[in-house]
Structure 1
């Protein structure tokens, strides 16, 4: 659906985005992750044709260029903060993007905005404005939705609501590119992760690939016999001082084989760093590399 090939974006003479390439397929929820100033928002603006760039961006076989917005009619976006008219009501703001009254009513109900949708936006709280911006991004059933910090200002109930809406739209084939600093929330919905640092892509993987290396510490009633059984069955493991480290995917099979040989698992413990720690570790490694090059 979206193909980004070797894009470079400049602010003056400074190259902000550096040879960035990635693809988004129908129904994918892609998390765009990185530290402040990494280039996430700039990449989103570039995809929307709002900044000058070199390289190639293709959406549904059409080439995107600067200020060429016609081909992006099937793209919804919320960048930085909702672009709304404060002296219009929320309903009137949505009308500017959608001509179908039935769809507006459906969207208002979907996002639970009925209690304030006809009030002037100048009186909205941050969370209310955020939901309005998301509503404007989702009307007209876009094929691709770009959301920059969509959970900003939302309470817990609204966060769960938006999370479920994104999942439902994704199940129907809508693709999402989402930037968020709330990694715990992003982890719950994204199918792919793109990690950006200093304007470069340092990681582009499916979320399953990214977390597929979960390791467990395993203590058994007979370590030596366990090692023999694992070797005989070609199951990878690491031997530590008093325990073995194996992949979480191999635990069930390992347990069955051990029990058949009168060997029992006495303890299992997570040996992997969590999702957020893995992201921080990758960013820190990239920063150390950049510093070493200076």
Structure 2
């Protein structure tokens, strides 16, 4: 469903993402792990067509992102880190505005928005988004990402800054979307999130993919064998951060 070939992005000669080859199967929940500055957000930006790669290709369901960006946008949803809404509008009004980008007929858009507000727990909330908590904004951002009923959903640090209840709500929604056959690609620097929701993980460090597979596979590939009982956290810290 998601495939990259030698995907590279350089800024002033410095590679933020370096020759990334990645394949994510349909229906997978893929966790893209790495420390801040490792290339996660840049990679995602190229996958959704917001950043043009220096070289290489990315395909979503067989569609070349660079050549056919509008076709790709019709089948994906994106929940960025650092959500932006019109603060003088309420949740329904914000979603109605964004639905116009998908040319949804009024009646269909209204029905879809009602379903999504209920789905993310914002049904009946009439106050303007300027008064929303971080968790409420995250849930509204997820509703926005689902407006077009996408086949692939990209999430950039979806639980960042949330309290435990908010984290649990996002986890449950991700699991439910997965059960419906959606492909989910989300970036995080929090191992605990991967442990709870991901089927497959990839670890990026300094722009390079250094491991990919199930959690057990990744532990085996990354562990150098010096401490057989090390936890995933210890392996991750040692390999990606150089120890902590």
- TM-score normalised over the length of structure 1: 0.72
Per-residue CA deviations over 1:65-119 (Å, capped at 9, x if unaligned) read 1792332211111122113222221111112333422221121112111253x22
Matched, 1:140 2:148: yes
What does residue 273 of structure 1 align with? 230
- Is contact 2:171–2:197 with CA below 8 Å preserved after alignment? yes
Q: Distance in 1 between matches of 2:219 and 2:239?
A: 13
Matched, 1:104 2:113: yes
Matched, 1:50 2:44: no
Q: Distance in 1 between matches of 2:230 and 2:48?
A: 36
Matches of residues 74-89 of structure 1 in structure 2 within 5 Å? 74-89=75-90
What does residue 163 of structure 2 align with? 155
- Is contact 1:145–1:175 with CA below 8 Å preserved after alignment? yes
Q: Distance in 2 between matches of 1:211 and 1:14?
A: 29
What does residue 194 of structure 1 align with? 202
Per-residue CA deviations over 1:256-291 (Å, capped at 9, x if unaligned) read xxxxxxxxxxxxxxx622222221122145x9xxxx
Q: Distance in 1 between matches of 2:95 and 2:216?
A: 36
Matched, 1:62 2:19: no
Unpaired runs of at least 5, structure 1? 214-270, 288-294
Of structures 1 and 2, the one scoring higher in RCO (CA 8 A, sep 6+) is 2
The Cα of 1:13 is off from its aligned counterpart by 2.9
The Cα of 1:21 is off from its aligned counterpart by 1.0
Q: Distance in 1 between matches of 2:118 and 2:162?
A: 17
Distance 1:277 1:125, change over 3 A: same
What does residue 36 of structure 2 align with? 36
Q: Which has the larger radius of gyration?
A: 1
Q: Residue 128 of structure 2: which of 120, 137, 142 is its match?
A: 120
Greater mean alpha carbon deviation, residues 271-280 or residues 24-33: 271-280
Unpaired runs of at least 5, structure 2? 222-227
- Which segments of structure 1 move beyond 4 Å, counting only runs of 4 or more? none
Per-residue CA deviations over 1:205-257 (Å, capped at 9, x if unaligned) read 123423579xxxxxxxxxxxxxxxxxxxxxxxxxxxxxxxxxxxxxxxxxxxx
- Is contact 2:175–2:197 with CA below 8 Å preserved after alignment? yes
Aligned Cα RMSD in Å? 2.2
Q: Distance in 2 between matches of 1:130 and 1:157?
A: 12
Q: Distance in 2 between matches of 1:205 and 1:46?
A: 22
Q: How many equivalent residue pairs?
A: 229
What does residue 230 of structure 1 align with? none
**Aligned-partner SS, 1:102:** helix
Q: Distance in 2 between matches of 1:119 and 1:92?
A: 11
What does residue 224 of structure 2 align with? none
Q: Distance in 1 between matches of 2:10 and 2:70?
A: 20
